[in-house]
Amino acid sequence: MNEFWHIEPRFEAAVKGYFAQPPQAELELEFPVPEKDFNTAGNGASETKNLLKRLGVDSDTLRRIAVAAYEAEINVAAHSKGGIMKCLIYDDLIHIRFQDEGPGIADMDQAMIPGYSTADELVREMGFGAGLGLPNIKKNSDALHILSSANNPTTVELLIFF
């Protein structure tokens, strides 16, 4: 199993503490992400952003959450057999976890390079597959954790602090 971590230095202690002993979430949301369904892909990111806006999260943080969640949701729809988006919302952060049904990421280092894509022709015809999904998720997250390997499900977790 390949593992990728990126943690913004100023959040390192908070991220390690969170994963060492995750607290009880105040709100939990869950959204299905169907395979190749680009009509509904992004709905989870949009609903999450709208809820957080109503809860008073600032606009810069909302933008980062929307971008990271949308990119991850599109990746699940485009590159897997579908999956689940689960959001755990706390007073000071959101933890978004994507679990898909494979086929996994064969080369994690290469997948993180802007412009690298394994998107098929259908995905490209729909206007996706530019190879910017994972780099954009990393750029907009305070912490990003990916577990994957070829021919296995992938888990993508991101934390964004408010």
Q: What is the pLDDT of residues 140-157, one digit of tens each?
A: 999 999 999 999 999 999
Q: What is the mean pLDDT of the chain?
A: 95
What are the chain's domains?
Answer: 2-18+35-161 (3.30.565.10)
Q: What is the pLDDT of residues 98-142, one digit of tens each?
A: 999 989 999 999 999 999 888 878 788 877 888 889 999 999 999
Query: What pLDDT is attached to residue 55?
Result: 98
- Cα distances from 46 to residues 69, 100, 124, in angstroms, run 9, 19, 22
- Give the three-class secondary structure for 58: coil
